[in-house]
Amino acid sequence: EAGVAQSPRYKIIEKRQSVAFWCNPISGHATLYWYQQILGQGPKLLIQFQNNGVVDDSQLPKDRFSAERLKGVDSTLKIQPAKLEDSAVYLCASSLEGPGQGYTEAFFGQGTRLTVV
């Protein structure tokens, strides 16, 4: 079974530039998560989709971050403009069901390591 695919693996940008990350979840997984993991910390949920609807985006800095999941499959996460503190690994995960529907295991992609200079 193919896992969660993310691209790019690494990205270096200057502050105030824009960047976009892409995620392709495991086929058939209804729930998709974007997490931000800063070095030495646990993953922090940015946004959670159930099919193509947003379930939770309470921790997404909406003045600069946006995410979409068109057709309930692939998802993109965008940062515009980037700040130095956005340097982190951005992890995409998917699960068959979300935490509110009889949660099943979340599978993670390898992540995108973003460095803002």
Partner 1 sequence: RKEVEQDPGPFNVPEGATVAFNCTYSNSASQSFFWYRQDCRKEPKLLMSVYSSGNEDGRFTAQLNRASQYISLLIRDSKLSDSATYLCVVTSWGKLQFGAGTQVVVTP
Residue indicated by tokens 């951005």: 90
Task: Rule CB under 8 A: say whether 55 interacts with partner 1.
Answer: yes
Rule CB under 8 A: say whether 48 interacts with partner 1.
Answer: yes
State the Cα–Cα distance between residues 98 and 94, nearest whole angstrom.
9
* 108 binds partner 1, rule: CB under 8 A: yes
Query: 66: which strand partners?
Result: 78
Among the candidate windows 10-18, 60-68, 70-78, 109-117, which touches partner 1 by CB under 8 A?
109-117
Cα torsion through 81, 17, 111, 101, rounded to 10 = 20
Name the site residues for partner 1 (rule: CB under 8 A).
Answer: 33, 35, 40-45, 48, 55-56, 91, 98-100, 103, 105-106, 108-111
